[in-house]
Every structure is written in structure tokens, then in C-alpha cells.
Chains A and B, each alone.
Chain A
């Protein structure tokens, strides 16, 4: 699904965000990217989204070489990827419904379907009762759930999260990760960047650790006790 071949990203002569990174993420996989701030996690996600181009190496996403992708092809390519940010990036002047409907408009979805789709996706994040609330009337966890709903609304093949729990307390973080896990169960490939190792510890997912732009470790986080739906990420009791 996602393949990086010897990818290097330099911003200038003295600043290199990624050094010769090679990895593969299979379809339907749930992978954590971890590492300290400045390790290169966000750069790697931006390269997946083709927000920037690599200085060296090749990136292939679902058989498409992003290096060769035309600018005009980017919009449709990005429609298959849902993106969630640490700072939510919701439009404050719009209600929850309008934030979702706005995306559906630009994605060419008929206005008749907006309410049905928005309601469906908000139910998946348990926020169907906040349809007419404004982002600033919501808590941090609720805002992030709206942001995830927005990322999920187009049924993405790849769901990318850049520190989506960075501003949330541990309980809310568990809730958010559960939503990502549900999306993964529905078939989306999930790539989640976080520097919170505690979240990852019992996940049972592949974890790729970055340091100064290099992959220094790659392993599966083995749960300390058998995972159930409630304890999938080990947060229910934490």
C-alpha cells in the first residue's frame, strides 16, 4: 500500500528531515510512527500525502509513484486519504455539520446526501447529537472526534494521524485511538504518528521508531495481556 524506497528529505544544505528511509506498509495494516519531536514523523506523513516531494528516493502509494504524479492528479489522490491533525484544523465559523458538509461539497457529493453522510460518520464517533454545535463549543476530545469524522467521511483507503492525541488527556486519547482502530477494522490502512510511547505499549501493532530522520527500530508492540475490543490499546484500565 505505502512504499518508501531510500527516501531522503532535505530542506536545505544543513537541515535533513529524513535520511535514506525505506519501509513498506501493507494494505489494511495499522502502524504507529513514533519518535521524539523533530524525529521526522510529520515530514514522513507529508510525503505520503504529497504535501512535499522527496529530495531523493521513490515513494509509491497503492501502485502510484508520487514522484511522477502531476499536480492536477493530486486532488483525486488525496481524496482517498483521510488526515487528522493534532490541532484539529476545524473551521471555527462553521458548525460541526457545516465542517463536514463543506468537505462533501468540495468532494463533489450531491447536497442531498450531505446530512445522511454527516450523521452516519458522526454516529461512528459518537457525536451525532452535536451536529449543530460550533467547534469552540466542544471539548478538545470532541473537536478531535469531529476532525476524525471529517477524515472518515469519504471512506478513506488510508487514514493518517499526525499526533491526533497530542492535546488530549489519556482517557480521551484512548477513545480517539479506538476510533482509528474501528476505521482499521472497516478496511482503512492506518498510519498514526505519536511521540506518546505509553499509548503504543499494549497496542499489538507494528511500531516504527524514528530518530533524527532515520528508522532506528521497527517491531510489534506485544500486549501485556490478551487484547479485547475494550482493551485493544490497553487504555481501559489506565
Chain B
């Protein structure tokens, strides 16, 4: 005899459901290869751009962190400062114990440094008759001294000394660099979010197309009593897979571009090289990039399945 009617409770998720979602999602991606490729490319491109901004900001922050430990004062002389004026300034430095750890950089040494840092443009300097770089003192100081009253007094004394053009503190341009890194991070984040939203909509459209392809199957599934979770699951997983593959592709492309650029620019100790190509993104940020793709894919597919009740 026939059994009794089922109780109308929400059925449990079957044990093999996740495998079914994954298998179906992969099959659907394969069936709609071209549109899936477009969706994955869009996600990859968006995250690559975001990743590029993140990489630049990361390297700037890295440079700032490297310099942060060192508190340094630079005393620059006028280009026509006489040796007597330089000696007078050195006597001021010598008279204060806190300024004793100093290093003199002559005009020629400054020129040599420039040539090493900016090897690409060093020829320009040769075209100028006179060495344009000033001599200077680089002085390592302690944090305690920086915060002391004596510090301001000593700096003013140095500034008043004949032949001294400028007394500069490292932390001023470090703060500028930090600000620049922050701006790059924000701009990258805005650009990345805008592009990720566009990519999510692309994924949504691709999923809509796939749903149209599977219209017949979906109607059969509804008639035999498939729950919405079972019907929509493979489409959601499809979007998440597309997003994750896009994220992984972006991370791989970024690493390939970083490695290639690092190899192409000779490691001459150039300042630019040191700034931009010293380090790749840490794994947490790479994971965030891939996670961004996952989320964009999930949002895109969720947008498309929630509006298609008729299918």
C-alpha cells in the first residue's frame, strides 16, 4: 500500500549536496566556457588593479618602516660653502655630545650617490659644468634627544651658522611617504571596489545566462520537489568558483608582473628600485585579494538567483 503523506518540514541538506553543488558548478562553468572566461577575466583584471595599488603602498610602507628605526638629521651646506664654514659647523656638532655620531658627505660623494641611485638619469649630471649637489652632515640621534628642549636650541644654532643652507629631519619626509602610501591605499581600494562591483555584475549576468540554459532542468527540479537551496546552490557555487579563480589569477599575474619587473630593473641600489620592488604582498593580503574575488562571485551569483523565482 502507498505510504502516508510526508510532513511538510524543511528537509535536511543531504549528505552529498556539497559535492553535487561543486560537480554541477564545475560542469556549468565548462559548458559556458566563453562567458565564464569573460567573468573570470573581469574579476582577475579588477583584482589585479587593486593588487597593484596594494603592492605600491606595501613597498612604500616597507620603506617607511625601514627608515623609521633610524632618527637622522641632515645638515646641508650651501653649494659655495667654504671649508672654514664647514669646520665651524662641525665644531658646533662636536660641542654637543648628542650630535657626535656624524658622517660627512662631500659634494663629490653626494654626486656619486645620485649616480648610483638614479643610474638611468645620471648622464644628465655630466652635462652640467658644476657639481650641483651640496656637502652635508648626516647625524644619527636618539629619540630621547629629539624630544628634549636642547634639540630645538641646537638646531637653531646650526641654522644660524654661516654656510648652512638647511637642517632637515628624516621624519618629515617619512610622514609624507606614509601619507602617500595611505592615499595610494585609499585610491586603490576605491578603484578596486568599483571594479569588483562591475565584475560582480558581470558574474551575475553570466549566471543569468546559465540559468536560462538550465531553465528546463530547473522547472523539472521544482516539479519533483527540489528545494530552492538545491536548485540555487550550484549557481551560487558557480559564481563563487568564478570569483575565486579570478582572484587566484589576479594574484598569480601580480606576482609574475612583480618578478618580471624586479628582474628587468637592475638591482643597482637605485632608490626607485628599492622603493617599488623590495617586497611582494604578504600572504594575508594575497588571501584578502583572493577572498575579494570569492565575495564578488558570491554577491554576483546571489544577485542573479534571488531575482529568478520564475525559472
Q: Interface of A with B (CB < 8 Å)? A: 27-28, 49, 51, 62-64, 69, 72-80, 83, 89, 91, 103, 105-111, 150, 154-157, 186-189
Contact = CB atoms under 8 A, between A and B. Distances in A.
A47 B233 CA distance: 27
Given A76-B11, A77-B8, A107 B223 contact: no
A49 B8 contact: no
B227 interface: yes
A165 B141 CA distance: 97
Given A78-B224, A157-B3, A186-B2, A111 B16 contact: yes
Interface stretch (B87-95, B115-123, B214-222): B214-222
A75 B226 contact: yes
Contacts, number: 84
Contact of A157 (B5, B7, B20, B221): B5
A63 B5 CA distance: 10
Interface residues of B, number: 31
B30 to A, nearest CB: 12
B224 A80 contact: no
B198 interface: no
B9 interface: yes
Query: Which 4 residue pairs are nearest across A and B when measured between Cβ atoms?
Result: A187-B2, A79-B225, A106-B226, A78-B225
B8 to A, nearest CB: 4
Nearest to B217: A91
Interface of B: 1-12, 14-17, 20, 216-217, 219-228, 230-231
Among A73, A74, A79, residue most surrounded by chain B Cβ atoms (within 10 Å): A79
A231 B171 CA distance: 101
Given A77-B225, A108-B14, A187 B1 contact: yes
Contact of B224 (A69, A106, A187): A106
B20 to A, nearest CB: 5
18 contacts: A72-B10, A75-B225, A75-B228, A79-B6, A79-B225, A89-B216, A91-B216, A105-B17, A105-B20, A107-B226, A108-B11, A109-B14, A110-B15, A154-B224, A154-B225, A155-B3, A157-B2, A188-B2
Nearest to A82: B224
B223 A78 contact: yes
Given A157-B5, A187-B2, A79 B224 contact: yes
Nearest to A184: B2
Contacts of B225: 74-79, 106-107, 154
Nearest to A51: B223
Contacts of A49: 223
B5 A80 contact: yes
Nearest to B1: A187
Nearest to A73: B8
Nearest to B214: A91
A80 B6 contact: yes
A76 B9 contact: yes
A110 B3 CA distance: 19
B221 A106 contact: yes
B16 A110 contact: yes
A231 B150 CA distance: 117
Contacts of B10: 72
A76 B6 contact: yes
Contacts of B4: 157
B225 to A, nearest CB: 4
A62 B5 contact: yes
A205 to B, nearest CB: 18
Contact of A89 (B14, B220, B228): B220
A215 to B, nearest CB: 25
A109 B228 CA distance: 17
